[in-house]
Amino acid sequence: MRKWFKRDGNADDKAQHKRAQVAWETANRLFEQGNVQDLAAPLREAAELGHTEAMTNLGVVLHQEGRDAEAEQWWQRAARQGSIDSMYNLGNFCMKNRRVLDGERWLARAAEAGHLQAMSDLGVFLFQAGQVSDAKDLWTRAARQGNAAAARNLEVFRVADAALKEPDRRGRNRRPR
């Protein structure tokens, strides 16, 4: 696992790390108090000082404010520093904005890193693209680790697959024509 902040040990670096941590803690306190309108400023400060989780959360706040281009930039920066949540956010963001190849790539990176919801969402995409075996594999992995959405997807697939294979009363399979 990567550290959220890279440092070389000099005094300036330690001071920057401390400022980032204080800003991050301030943002968390504001969030816990339900004060979301003041959340962006300390998140931005921590993010600009290199705090990866702050970058991810700032991206969420900016996205909720409709500032998608800026949100995407923060998620990309955090993803480059190893944030699995930012990879997942980028995947969904790209998919919703019809940038399917980028979306698939980011979801795959998050899934490979163990993000369970990314596995489930990527499975849906792959299923819709006709890659049923890959989708089932992802759903199975995520479901075994407790992801309810993946378990539901897997169960729906199994029921539908069984119904399609079951002969109707006239002895024919129920495949659509």
pLDDT digits (tens, 9 = 90+) for 68-105: 999 999 999 999 999 999 999 999 999 999 999 999 99
1-82: CATH number: 1.25.40.10
66 to 50, 52, 62, 69, 128: CA distances (angstroms): 23, 21, 6, 9, 28
Q: What is the 3-state secondary structure (H, E, C) of 28-66?
A: HHHHHCCCHHHCHHHHHHHHHCCCHHHHHHHHHHHHHCC
Distance from the first to the final alpha carbon of the chain: 51
Contact between 123 and 152 under an 8 Å Cβ cutoff? The reply is: no
Contact between 98 and 75 under an 8 Å Cβ cutoff? The reply is: no
Task: Output the average pLDDT for the chain.
Answer: 90
In whole angstroms, give the CA distance from residue 101 to residue 99.
6
Checking if the pLDDT of 174 tops 60, the result is no
In whole angstroms, give the CA distance from residue 103 to residue 138.
16
Buried b (16+ CB within 10 A) or exposed e, 113-137: eebbbbbbbbbbbbbeeeeeeebbe
Domain chopping of the chain, boundaries:
1-82, 100-177
Per-residue confidence (pLDDT) for residue 2, from 0 to 100: 38
Residue 14 pLDDT grade (very low, low, confident, very high; cuts 50, 70, 90): confident
Per-residue confidence (pLDDT) for residue 36, from 0 to 100: 87
pLDDT digits (tens, 9 = 90+) for 51-73: 999 999 999 999 999 999 999 99
Per-residue confidence (pLDDT) for residue 170, from 0 to 100: 53
In this predicted model, which residue has the larger pLDDT, 127 or 36? 127
Tokens of 163: 């119904």
Contact between 85 and 115 under an 8 Å Cβ cutoff? The reply is: yes
Checking if the pLDDT of 172 tops 90, the result is no
pLDDT digits (tens, 9 = 90+) for 132-168: 999 999 999 999 999 999 999 999 999 988 888 876 5
Checking if the pLDDT of 176 tops 80, the result is no
